[in-house]
Chains A and B, each alone.
Chain A
Amino acid sequence: MKRRFAVPAMVVFLCACLGAAPGAAQAAKGKGQKQTQPKNKVFLVCRHGCKFHTVQRGVDAAGSFKHKPKNAAVQAIVKVKPGKYVEGVVLDGRLRKKEFDGLKIVGMKENPRKQILEGKNAKGELGPAQNGIEAVDVNGVTIRNLWARNYESNGFFVHASVQAGQECDGFKMENLLASDNRSYGLFAKGCLGGKMLHSSGWHQGDSAFYIGETPCDSVTWTNHGEAPPPCQAKPKWTVLRDDDSYENVLGYSGTNSKYVKIVESNFFNNGAGIVPNTLDSEGFEPNGWNYFEHNNVFWNNYNYFLAGTSFKTVSAGLGELSGLTINYPTGTGIILYGGANNIVRQNNVFGNYKWGIAAFSGPGESFVANEGNDAKSINNQIVENTMGRGGADPNGEYDFLGDATGGGNCWGANSAGSTFDPGIGAVPLGQIYPGCPQPPAVADQVRSLNLAAGIQVILTDTGNPKTILGYAGQSPPQNQQCSWVRPVAAHPPFEDFTPAEVAPQPGELTCP
């Protein structure tokens, strides 16, 4: 917009200076406006008194309008008046007679609580409505000022329908709320670049924010080989900024996501805060090449396995190890699970009862933790983080856990007095947590298993909660809490946040 007005203004100014006739200047301005003036077509949605009574109808009308070639340059905007809309909205970019690319769906009031997409009693194609808004194969969709809640699947879901991706590029989710959805709040999968900004999510059965399966330039890309090429030669970044995530199983989850920047956001009162991960369930393993900077990651001690939880996990576990079901480790701020080349820098991490920042591998070479042994912790940099608020609100057991697997990882210039998990003490700390920088490791040249340090797993004591896999495999899972460490009686106040924990009922914890 700024550029469009600036150019005609400059033309007027120059013409006036050169003594040109005002008419000519006006003509130039008019011509410029004709070429660049944006045209909007608004599709107004409201419960009563508008042409469209549901968001879906407004979206469908906008899609039909944009399908006509003569309207190609017109910006279609679905404006949603305040109200509660009991429906699941679908933008199917594969439909031949609709065009949804670039569509904006905007709540008219800045306060997203005024425009509610309600999943309770909402019907969809397959039964109950699954998502507040689902956009399939739609590029450049913008969703703003809405609240999606109580859906069978997700709040806002943008994804590609083919693994090659490139069909949901540049999405923008802004000023959204997502709550009490079964799986995810704000969810993008298979997209090349996008934004999730100024949004909040709570009470999701998985994570409030999720970026999954970032596509690579080649569908056959892997991180194996002597010199694997980058996933994307010219990365298209996905940015999460100024988001709040609280009281979810995970604050952020990103399975096999890449080129994600999470900055200036708050992750608190979740089971675990920021959790990029590598899993077989999605393509383009591993996760990596992400930035996590300037975030507050604190009080992630919500034991959702207890009966008193406000939400339930949808996960039945991540896998099995010697008969133990592995779950995500609660009480942890940031988890890099099987990640490569992540940078965790200048975050404020405190008050998590187990670990502040943990980086570890899935031992795919010996267990069925990861087919193909893709979940190796390599080349991650954990630097310049402030841990435990200078001792006022420490992370419980240790600030840092590294399991001595993989290679090329480094820990540098984190706050003074930070604590490092030593395992059984058999491997020097400096070897487990080398300083930065480190020479980069090649995935195929390092191992995903380390039994020497006693941090990953102890084969004669697989349930030992001092090890990451033993802790994640606690049975029953709510017993993870048994090994939490609470260094202070109560968290000191932090901004206007309030700690949220689940009180165990008598007999619920069976700590040894």
Chain B
Amino acid sequence: MSVRRRVPKLAAACLAAACLAGVAATPAGAGKAAKPQVITVADFYFGPNAVTIPKGGTVKWVWASTNTESHDVHLKKGPKGLKQKGTYSTKTTAVTNATFKHAFPTPGTYNFICTIHPTKMKMTVTVKK
């Protein structure tokens, strides 16, 4: 489900509710972003290791509290012509108590690894058109 489809429905519902209640109508829910897709960064996997999100969707990586090892999130390969590619990777590593969030405005396939454990920790984000 894309954000574009959802927002008009939410706005319409909100407007209708406001009209029925006799209140001045302001589409408060219209700008509300969809919840980010949460990925767990654990020893030694990303969970889930493949997600599909709508264009403009957000992914949030959350490091597990049980980790003993350092991990990062590194974009190994993204769609052609992707702008600001460097921002899709963390600059630092973390063991726990860490989060990294990024929006995906460009459709395509994004392959991520943990550079500390590149053979074990791989994942894909697919951004639909």
Residues in A with CB closer than 8 Å to B118 are 162-163, 283
Per-residue A-contact encoding for B98-129, CB less than 8 Å = 1, 0 else: 11100000000000000111111000000000
Partner of A125, one of B67, B70, B90, B117: B90
Q: Which label, helix, strand, loop or mixed, suits the secondary structure of the B interface?
A: loop
The answer to whether A126 touches B95, judged by C-beta atoms less than 8 angstroms apart, is no
Q: Which of A150-158, A402-410, A415-423 contacts B (4 or more CB under 8 A)?
A: A150-158
Q: Which residues on the B side are within 8 Å of A159 (C-beta)?
A: 70, 93, 116
CB contact between A130 and one of B95, B115, B119 (< 8 Å): that residue: B95
Given contacts A125-B92, A157-B70, contact A283 B119 (CB under 8 A): yes
The interface residues of chain B lying within 8 Å CB-to-CB of A163 are 118-119
Residues A90 and B92 in contact, CB atoms below 8 Å apart: yes
CB B112 to nearest CB in A, in angstroms, measures 13
Instruction: Tell me the number of A-to-B contacts counted with CB atoms below 8 Å.
Output: 85
Q: A316: which B residues are within 8 A, CB to CB?
A: 66, 68
Tell me which residues across on chain A come within 8 A of B43, comparing CB atoms: 281
Q: Which of A123-153 contact B (CB under 8 A)?
A: 124-128, 130-131, 134, 136, 152-153
B96 interfacial by beta-carbon distance below 8 Å = yes
A282 vs B97: C-alpha distance when bound (angstroms): 22
Nearest chain B CB to A434's CB is how many angstroms away?
A: 36
B119 touches A154 (CB 8 A): no
In the assembled complex, the Cα of A183 lies from the Cα of B70 at a distance in Å of 9
**B68 and A128: CB pair below 8 A?**
no
Contact of A153 among B66, B70, B90, B117 (CB under 8 A): B70
Q: Which residues of A contact B74 (CB under 8 A)?
A: 161
- The interface residues of chain A lying within 8 Å CB-to-CB of B94 are 124, 126-127, 130, 152-153
> Would you call A14 an interface residue if the criterion is a C-beta within 8 Å of the partner chain's C-beta atoms?
no
Q: B residues within 8 A CB of A128?
A: 97-98
Whether the pair A130, B98 counts as a contact (CB closer than 8 A) is: yes
State which size class the interface on B falls in: 20 to 34
Q: A residues within 8 A CB of B99?
A: 126-127
Q: Which of B63, B69, B91 contacts A183 (CB 8 A)?
A: B69
Q: Which of A152, A162, A282 sits near B98, CB closer than 8 Å?
A: A152
- Measured in the bound complex, the distance between the Cα atoms of B116 and A163 in whole Å is 8
CA distance A300 to B87 in the complex (A): 45
Whether B98 lies near A281 (C-beta < 8 A) is no
Q: A315: CB under 8 A from chain B?
A: yes
Residues of B within 8 A of A206 (CB): 68
Within 351-388 of A, Cβ neighbours of B (below 8 Å) are at none
Q: Count A-side interface residues using an 8 Å CB cutoff.
A: 32
> Please, which residue of chain A has its CB at the minimum distance from the CB of B44?
A281
Q: Are B68 and A205 in contact (CB under 8 A)?
A: yes
Chain A residues near B120 (CB-CB < 8 A):
280-281
Are B95 and A153 interface neighbours, CB within 8 A?
yes
Give per-residue flags for A268-285: 1 if the beta carbon is below 8 A from chain B beta carbons, else 0: 000000000000111100
A189 within 8 Å of B (CB atoms): yes
Instruction: Using CB atoms, name the residue of chain A closest to B96.
Output: A152
Q: Is the CB of A130 within 8 A of B69?
A: no
B91, B96, B117: the one within 8 Å of A92 (CB) = B91
The A-contacting residues of B in range 57-74, CB under 8 angstroms, are 63, 66-70, 74
Closest chain-A Cβ to B83's Cβ sits at a distance in Å of 15
Find chain A residues with CB under 8 A from B100 CB.
125-126
Given contacts A130-B70, A159-B116, contact A152 B95 (CB under 8 A): yes
Q: A134, B97: Cβ atoms under 8 Å?
A: no
Q: How far is the CB of A128 from chain B (nearest CB, A)?
A: 5
For window 34-75 of B, CB contacts with A under 8 Å fall at 43-44, 63, 66-70, 74
Counting from the closest, the 6 A-B pairs by CB-CB distance are A126-B98, A314-B68, A153-B95, A161-B115, A130-B94, A127-B98
Q: Could you list 16 further interchain pairs (A-B, Cβ under 8 angstroms) beyond the known A153-B94, A182-B95?
A: A90-B91, A124-B94, A125-B90, A131-B92, A134-B92, A136-B91, A152-B94, A154-B70, A157-B70, A159-B93, A183-B68, A183-B70, A281-B44, A281-B117, A281-B120, A283-B119
Task: Name A residues whose Cβ lies closer than 8 Å to a Cβ of B.
Answer: 88, 90, 92, 124-128, 130-131, 134, 136, 152-154, 157, 159, 161-163, 182-183, 189, 205-206, 280-283, 314-316
- Can you show 8 pairs from A to B with CB atoms below 8 A apart? A90-B91, A92-B92, A127-B94, A153-B93, A159-B93, A205-B68, A314-B67, A314-B68
